[in-house]
């Protein structure tokens, strides 16, 4: 059983994803590690802006970086995607259980009225 | 195939989730529909604050509401959870393909060196 992420960490994770360019960076990095300039160019954003977006993604636990020589390379942190997947799956499970109960209730009501 | 959500809609969805109380509301609503006061009480927040949080969730497409008589009832919008699930699944798939390629590459290098 995976330990639940801390609330403050989830806040930072979801906040980091609430931006088109930052989601674009996750898309690019899901295909392979990249440097800041690899990321900034195709997204049409300036380097300083890309650096800021990457810092937000790093605080959100969504990317990790490593500096080799003069180049810092970024990659997606798979655990963040797992955390999100677990979060959604839990709510979907509860919601489906809710629909199942409603369905069972409606079926029982239909049975009652057909027996009258 | 489900149509991809619009970027602005994804911004609002992820932003809405970047808050502990709003995620608490989603948790509660995943168990069944509820009114503002049902939601505010257990979360220990004032009604006006709960109303604001619910408006953010509604703009994010995560909850829908219906007014019956004087009471407005909120429920989770399952499509939002589906959208999030699809978003994560796509990135995980790309990431796993990336790991598979790396693994294949490393295996091929290991074969080369064992043949030397």
Q: Tell me if A85 and B81 make a contact (CB, 8 A cut-off).
A: no
Confirm or reject contact between A95 and chain B (CB < 8 A): yes
pLDDT (tens digit per residue) in A68-95: 899 999 999 999 999 999 999 999 999 9
Return d(Cα B54, Cα B48) in angstroms, integer. Answer: 10
Task: Please give the pLDDT value at position A66.
Answer: 96
The closest alpha carbon to A77, from A8, A1, A5, belongs to A5
Is residue B1 very low, low, confident or very high in pLDDT (cuts 50, 70, 90)? very low
Q: Are A58 and A65 in contact (CB under 8 A)?
A: yes
What percent of chain B has pLDDT above 90? 77
Q: Tokens standing for B95?
A: 């990431």
Chain B residue closest in CA terms to A93: B30
B-chain residues within 8 Å CB-CB of A85?
Answer: 85, 88-89, 92
Indicate the average pLDDT of chain B.
92
Q: Nearest C-alpha of chain B: how many angstroms from A116?
A: 30
Q: In what order do the strands lie in the sheet with B71-76?
A: B34-35, B71-76, B63-68
Task: Provide the 10 A C-beta neighbour count for residue B26.
Answer: 22
Which of B15, B20, B94 lies at the smallest CB-CB distance from A7?
B20
Average pLDDT of span B26-46 = 95
Is residue B4 very low, low, confident or very high in pLDDT (cuts 50, 70, 90)? low
Confirm or reject contact between B18 and chain A (CB < 8 A): yes
Confirm or reject contact between B103 and chain A (CB < 8 A): no
Question: Of B84, B100, B103, which to mutate for an interface test with A (greatest number of A Cβ within 10 Å)?
Answer: B84
Task: Please give the pLDDT value at position A29.
Answer: 97
The pairing of strands A71-76 and A63-68 is antiparallel
Q: Does the pLDDT at position B103 exceed 80?
A: yes
Poorest-pLDDT segment among A45-59, A100-114, B38-52: A100-114
Confirm or reject contact between B105 and chain A (CB < 8 A): no
Return d(Cα A1, Cα B57) in angstroms, integer. Answer: 29
The closest alpha carbon to A76, from B111, B76, B101, B92, belongs to B92
pLDDT (tens digit per residue) in A20-37: 999 999 999 999 999 999
Give the Cα-Cα-Cα angle A109, A113, A114 (nearest 5 degrees): 115
Task: Please give the pLDDT value at position B68.
Answer: 86
Task: Please give the pLDDT value at position A116.
Answer: 67
Give the Cα-Cα-Cα angle A71, A73, A77 (nearest 5 degrees): 160
User: What are the beta bridge partners of residue B76?
Assistant: B63
Instruction: Provide the 3-class DSSP secondary structure of residue A63.
Output: strand
Task: Please give the pLDDT value at position A4.
Answer: 62
Task: Please give the pLDDT value at position B54.
Answer: 98
Question: Of A8, A18, A22, A24, which to mutate for an interface test with B (greatest number of B Cβ within 10 Å)?
Answer: A18
Q: Tell me if A91 and B30 make a contact (CB, 8 A cut-off).
A: yes
Residues within 8 A of A (CB atoms), B 29-68 only: 30-32
B-chain residues within 8 Å CB-CB of A10?
Answer: 17-18, 20, 23
Instruction: Provide the 3-class DSSP secondary structure of residue A112.
Output: helix
Which of B14, B19, B31 lies at the smallest CB-CB distance from A98?
B31
Dihedral sign (CA B47, B52, B55, B57): negative
Task: Please give the pLDDT value at position A1.
Answer: 45
Residue with tokens 């798979």: A78
Average pLDDT of span B47-61 = 98
pLDDT (tens digit per residue) in B68-94: 899 999 999 999 999 999 999 999 999
The secondary element (H helix, E strand) that includes residue B35 is strand B34-35
Contacts of B75 (CB under 8 A, 6+ apart): B29, B33, B63, B64, B65, B66
ipTM surpassing 0.90 = no
B113 or B108: whose pLDDT is higher?
Answer: B108
């Amino acid at each position: 059983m995976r330990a639940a992420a801390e609330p403050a960490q989830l806040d930072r994770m979801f906040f980091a994803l609430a931006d088109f360019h930052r989601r674009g960076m996750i898309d690019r990095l899901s295909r392979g590690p990249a440097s800041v300039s690899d990321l900034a160019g195709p997204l049409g954003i300036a380097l300083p802006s890309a650096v800021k977006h990457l810092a937000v993604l790093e605080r959100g636990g969504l990317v990790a970086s490593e500096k080799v020589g003069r180049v810092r390379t970024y990659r997606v942190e798979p655990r963040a995607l797992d955390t999100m997947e677990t979060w959604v799956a839990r709510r979907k499970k509860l919601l489906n259980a809710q629909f199942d109960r409603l369905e069972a209730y409606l079926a029982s009501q239909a049975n009652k009225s057909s027996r009258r």
